Structure 1
Amino acid sequence: MRMRTLRRVAFAAVAIVASVSAPVPGRAADIVIGVANWPSAIATAHLLKALVETKLGKTATLEEASLPELFAAADAGTVDILPEVWLPNYRAQVRSYVDKEHSVVLAPRGIPARQGLCTTKVAAEEYDLHSVEDLTKPETAGLLDTDQDGRGEIWIGADGWNSTNVERIRAKSYGYDKTMTLISADEPVAMAGLDVAVALGEPIVFYCYEPHHMFALHDLVMLEEPPHDPTKWVIRTPEDTPDWLEQSTAATAWPVSFIHTAYRSGFDDDAPEVVALLSNLDLEADAISDMTYALIVERRDPDAYAAEWIEANPDRVARWLAE
């Protein structure tokens, strides 16, 4: 019964995300906005599309792909705007395309964010599950073992996210890769699993990041970790070396993270008013969480919601549009 329920919820969540992020076909456009595969990137992309069309009088279309693919597309000149570049997650792409090739420009303003591993407050209190170190304990593995193979399960992110590789490095560095099966899967499936665990009162641990609507939907806590220490963070990527996992270490908390917009080099000459908007954009974390909640949980139409949000925030939008 539980698996059938999980599948129904998961398939519904996948359908919701697909309806939110699907590009509009057959429409002539002069601004191409990339859409990465997580809720806040989807929400921000639709907001930018609405601003470009309703406030700047241009047409825009959405291009869905992983963020590394969108960086490459911006480098090739086929995508104009990347609404959400997480740092330090995508530091390798920033080094390559922004710092070295100068084919992508990173807007200076960043939205503070945070990342880590979460559980529910109920699970933390009932099972004394408070620290990442707890994940190395056999009794914790037993709590999180849903398939009875002797190892717990932790969702560490979606395929194609740089953070997913970092979470593999963190698991190896802390040692819970020996007690836990690390699952990479599309986020809607993972969030459906979270919904089921909450409904059944079962313990769960998973990669989490904020801003995200999951914090408004559920009472979540981040597991405790040692403070970030850059000397203990050595991150290699599969592009660097085949032995990237063995050569990497990350046995402390994530550093303070920031979300930036970015755009292809030369776009400031083609659409200076759009670049001014991107430079002035100062979305706050709670606004992004509200947007993703409306789109994913309330199943609001993303274009209609973006238009309503713009109408409800005239002063902020006016600041963004100022030269």
Structure 2
Amino acid sequence: MKRFLGFVAVALAFLTVVFGPNSAKAEEPVVIAQQTWSASIALSNIMKYVLEEKLGIPAKILPLAQPATWAAMDKGDGSVDVKAEIWMPNEEAYWKKYVEERKTVEASLLFDNAPQGWVVPTWVAEKYNIKTYKDLIPHAKIFDINGDGKGDIWCGAGGWQSTQITRVQIRDLGLEKYFDPLVLEVWVFQAQLKEAMRKKKPILFYYWAPEWIWAVYDLTWVKLPDYDPAKWKFIPGKPEESYVACGWKPASVYVGYGVHLKKKNPKAYKFFKNFFIPMEEESKLIAELEDVPGNPAKPAEVVAREWVESHPEIVGKWLAGVK
């Protein structure tokens, strides 16, 4: 027995010398926080696939709300390393706190000039002559979903900054008397959208591009007042102190990663420094995830694998200087 224990001790000492005390840490997975919108799901799976299959780095996807994601990256303990998408200016308060002030999070640009705002089906816009947000007022009741006599507008999911912003917009654009904000998880709303489009029922909602709905449905943006910094004073969690009386400026979209990743896994850090994706490619990716007429849904893992293997030029740029 003593000989056996002695052998074990020698073996452990040998492993420590050969692999070093930090070898286990090198095998810790890169944790990618995934939010509920389709692009975040698609991109997080692409990131995971490339890390594991092209770089040999273990990776894990963690569904997590935005506030918790930012806080976890800020901690720097490896519980969350990456946020698949950061939308600016939607997440401006987090950006200022963690990227600019605390400098615990870095970001690489995925694409810019992404539109967002209020949307109706094109047939609704044409039938009721809806061009601007003011044109919604005399027709508010056609957008009534819950039967209370007021129109409803989907503002987004709980926990999204854009949801808070849209609620403030409704108030400060003078529509609170005519419309109620509707807050639902995105998959619940998308089911309502599919039904409304199938039955040709009016529906009004906040949305953005790129997204699969633009490839499937004929939709029209409702014109809001042009973006004006003087009319955009949003304070997260404090709607009573916020003022948003204009439309969105075109968004810039980033991938975010904790600065601690540079030490935890230098190869992964370099990969995310290089990461980008053309907006039109993201649109195609998202459409592959959705179950709509003529396009049966594919699992996110399958979509990610097929896209990566068919886009060697883009993937090659991600991996430049990494291997």
TM-score, length-scaled by structure 1: 0.86
- Give the residue type in structure 2 aligned to 1:308: E
Pick aligned residue for 1:276 from 260, 270, 294: 270
Q: Does 1:294 align with 2:295?
A: no
1:24 corresponds to which residue? none
Q: Does 1:105 align with 2:106?
A: yes
1:171 corresponds to which residue? 170
1:125 corresponds to which residue? 126
| Residues 39 and 211, structure 2, Cα contact 8 Å, conserved in 1 | yes
| Residues 103 and 264, structure 1, Cα contact 8 Å, conserved in 2 | yes
Pick aligned residue for 1:256 from 250, 262, 267: 250
| Residues 111 and 284, structure 1, Cα contact 8 Å, conserved in 2 | no
1:10 corresponds to which residue? none
- 1:186 is displaced (CA, Å) by 0.4
| Residues 111 and 282, structure 1, Cα contact 8 Å, conserved in 2 | no
Task: Supply the distance in 2 between the matched residues of 1:205 and 1:130 (Cα, whole angstroms).
Answer: 13
Count of aligned pairs: 289
| Residues 109 and 279, structure 1, Cα contact 8 Å, conserved in 2 | no
Task: Supply the distance in 1 between the matched residues of 2:314 and 2:265 (Cα, whole angstroms).
Answer: 21
- What do the CA deviations read for 1:85-132 (whole angstroms, capped 9, x no partner)? 111111111111122222211225544311100001111101112211
- 1:271 is displaced (CA, Å) by 2.2
1:37 corresponds to which residue? 36
2:56 corresponds to which residue? 57
- What do the CA deviations read for 1:57-107 (whole angstroms, capped 9, x no partner)? 111111111111111111122111111011111111111112222221122
- 1:246 is displaced (CA, Å) by 2.5
2:183 corresponds to which residue? 184
Task: Supply the distance in 2 between the matched residues of 1:109 and 1:122 (Cα, whole angstroms).
Answer: 33
| Residues 144 and 151, structure 2, Cα contact 8 Å, conserved in 1 | yes
- What do the CA deviations read for 1:109-167 (whole angstroms, capped 9, x no partner)? 544311100001111101112211123x2x31121123332201111100000000000
| Residues 111 and 283, structure 1, Cα contact 8 Å, conserved in 2 | no
- Give the residue type in structure 1 aligned to 2:285: M
2:17 corresponds to which residue? none
- What do the CA deviations read for 1:42-61 (whole angstroms, capped 9, x no partner)? 11000000010111111111
Task: Supply the distance in 1 between the matched residues of 2:165 and 2:186 (Cα, whole angstroms).
Answer: 16
Q: Where in structure 2 are the equivalents of 1:1-323 lying within 5 Å?
A: 29-76=28-75, 77=77, 78-108=79-109, 110-135=111-136, 137=137, 139-238=138-237, 244-297=238-291, 298-323=296-321
Task: Supply the distance in 1 between the matched residues of 2:162 and 2:146 (Cα, whole angstroms).
Answer: 25
Gaps of 5+ in 1: 1-27, 239-243
| Residues 153 and 180, structure 1, Cα contact 8 Å, conserved in 2 | yes
Task: Supply the distance in 1 between the matched residues of 2:99 and 2:318 (Cα, whole angstroms).
Answer: 23
Task: Supply the distance in 2 between the matched residues of 1:125 and 1:265 (Cα, whole angstroms).
Answer: 50
- Give the residue type in structure 2 aligned to 1:149: D
- Give the residue type in structure 1 aligned to 2:99: V
Runs of 4+ in structure 1 deviating by more than 4 angstroms, as ranges, are: none
Task: Supply the distance in 2 between the matched residues of 1:198 and 1:261 (Cα, whole angstroms).
Answer: 32
- Give the residue type in structure 1 aligned to 2:129: D
Superposed CA RMSD in Å reads: 1.5
Residues 312 and 109 (structure 1 numbering): CA distance in 2 closer, same or farther, change over 3 Å?
A: closer
Q: Sequence identity of aligned pairs in percent?
A: 29
Gaps of 5+ in 2: 1-26
Task: Supply the distance in 1 between the matched residues of 2:97 and 2:190 (Cα, whole angstroms).
Answer: 32
- 1:29 is displaced (CA, Å) by 4.7
Task: Supply the distance in 1 between the matched residues of 2:146 and 2:305 (Cα, whole angstroms).
Answer: 45
Task: Supply the distance in 1 between the matched residues of 2:285 and 2:66 (Cα, whole angstroms).
Answer: 20
TM-score, length-scaled by structure 2: 0.86
| Residues 29 and 61, structure 1, Cα contact 8 Å, conserved in 2 | no
